[in-house]
């Protein structure tokens, strides 16, 4: 760590994670330690690099921090600790990946950094750790408690960039690529010559910090709202179920479509190369899809409608003829079998108890048998020990988050997609 006061950086990290003396509120004494032990894993993963071009401290995507040696020498330990907390929260919050999701480019990077800083300020203020130069919801004149994405939308006016402004930024622009994903001229990039944290390692660090922060909150009593949300999102991420369901259906249909068979009704195009031998051609079957819809009284109509829409979209995107889609309405019995152009066109009958075994048993008697079976249910049903022979089964579990219950188990032989609606 040539050129940097390693002892002061070490002291600042220790100041952040050590407990405060006495029983007074954290932050009452500006020089007292901050009692944030859960940050230790992240703080000690940082790789410090001396750079005179940055004003104080910036970070890149590989968990390097670029520190101005002159500033470090002059700054007191609490000020260094505050800057460390600032940059480490850019990395813990994965602001660089989130910036890419918002199409942040060179022209909007500094604005994104400021919006992300507002959320960090909200997390740091209860512990009197916010650096004085950090933007707040007051200085930006925006509502309190929003996400970086929401602040960015408010300040950028939801403008669409037709041609992103790519390239690098200078050391003094923003907080570094660790905050917005835009490289700076002074950063070392993915090179591991001077140390770097991989994306896989970063994910493990975030999970470790989230677990320890949650445990610490039981002793300390409370945590800032932004930190509580981050813990929840890190340990229990909400992954949009719609693309998962449609993707599972497309993969199932695509797998079935790829299973060709040989036929002599269509000779092979290579037959002319082998005299006296008739080579069979290959026939690619049109995949057949069956949909089992749980019509018991416990299934939510709104969720069912959304899930059917995703299944319809997946089938339509593959150009599957409607005549090859059959729909079963099932509660405690298989009421109706229909062939429809769209799953949403099916007439649903039921609202009794739930036993999807009868629906899956009916699939076995279908001729020809379907290649893909999509089951839409809340999961409160008995299941058969084995799937219908020759069919790939996708189970779409329908539930609301506010139910607050663990979802029922599904068979290991089925692809499970949890379709959660807020």
3-class secondary-structure state, position 357: helix
Q: How far is CA 118 from CA 86, 107, 143, 223, 301, in A?
A: 11, 19, 10, 17, 40
CATH number of the 241-421 domain: 3.40.50
122 close to 160: Cβ distance less than 8 angstroms: no
195-201: Cβ within 8 A, 24+ apart: 195/47, 195/64, 196/47, 196/62, 196/63, 196/64, 197/45, 197/47, 197/62, 197/63, 198/62, 201/45
DSSP 87: H
pLDDT at 160: 42
pLDDT at 240: 63
* Token duo for residue 217: 């909150």
Q: Give the span between the Cα atoms of 232 and 65, in whole angstroms.
A: 27
Dihedral angle computed from the Cα positions of residues 19, 24, 25 and 26, in that order, rounded to the nearest 10 degrees? -30
Helices (H), 4-61: 6-17, 40-43
3-class secondary-structure state, position 285: coil
pLDDT < 70 regions, the chain: 1-2, 22-28, 157-167, 220-225, 236-242, 244-245, 247, 250-286, 297-300, 303, 307, 310, 314-324, 332-353, 402-405, 422
Report the share of the chain in percent with pLDDT over 90.
31
Rounded (5°) CA angle 230-232-234: 65
Global pTM reads 0.60
Q: Where are the domains of the chain?
A: 6-233, 241-421
Cα 155 vs. chain centroid, distance in angstroms?
24
């Amino acid at each position: 760590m040539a050129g940097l006061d390693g002892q002061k950086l070490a002291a600042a990290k220790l100041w952040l994670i050590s407990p405060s003396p006495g029983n007074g509120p954290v932050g009452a004494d500006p020089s007292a330690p901050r009692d944030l032990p859960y940050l230790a894993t992240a703080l000690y993963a940082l790789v410090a690099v001396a750079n005179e071009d940055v004003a104080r401290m910036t970070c890149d995507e590989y968990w390097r921090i670029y520190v101005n040696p002159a500033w470090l020498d002059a700054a007191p330990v609490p000020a260094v600790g505050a800057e460390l907390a600032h940059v480490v929260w850019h990395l813990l919050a994965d602001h660089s990946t989130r910036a890419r999701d918002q199409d942040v480019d060179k022209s909007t990077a500094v604005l994104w950094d400021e919006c992300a800083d507002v959320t960090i300020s909200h997390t740091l203020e209860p512990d009197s750790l916010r650096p004085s130069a950090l933007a707040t919801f007051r200085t930006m004149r925006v509502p309190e408690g929003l996400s970086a994405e929401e602040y960015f939308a408010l300040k950028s006016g939801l403008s669409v960039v037709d041609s992103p402004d790519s390239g690098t930024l200078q050391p003094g622009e923003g907080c570094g690529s660790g905050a917005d994903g835009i490289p700076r001229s002074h950063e070392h990039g993915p090179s591991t010559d001077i140390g770097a944290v991989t994306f896989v390692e970063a994910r493990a660090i975030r999970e470790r910090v989230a677990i320890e922060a949650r445990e610490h909150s039981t002793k300390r009593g409370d945590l800032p709202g932004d930190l509580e949300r981050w813990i929840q999102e890190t340990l229990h991420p909400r992954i949009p179920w719609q693309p998962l369901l449609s993707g599972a259906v497309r993969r199932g249909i695509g797998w079935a479509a790829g299973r060709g068979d040989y036929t002599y009704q269509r000779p092979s195009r290579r037959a002319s190369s082998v005299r006296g031998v008739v080579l069979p051609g290959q026939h690619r079957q049109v995949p057949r899809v069956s949909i089992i819809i749980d019509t018991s009284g416990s299934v939510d109509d709104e969720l069912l409608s959304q899930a059917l829409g995703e299944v319809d979209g997946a089938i339509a995107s593959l150009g599957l003829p409607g005549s090859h889609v059959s729909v079963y309405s099932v509660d405690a019995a298989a009421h109706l079998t229909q062939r429809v152009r769209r799953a949403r066109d099916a007439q649903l009958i039921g609202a009794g108890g739930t036993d999807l075994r009868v629906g899956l048993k009916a699939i076995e008697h279908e001729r020809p048998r379907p290649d893909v079976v999509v089951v839409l249910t809340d999961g409160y049903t008995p299941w058969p020990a084995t799937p219908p022979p020759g069919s790939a089964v996708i189970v779409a579990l329908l539930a609301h988050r506010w139910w607050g219950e663990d979802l029922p188990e599904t068979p290991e032989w089925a692809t499970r997609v949890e379709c959660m609606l807020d």
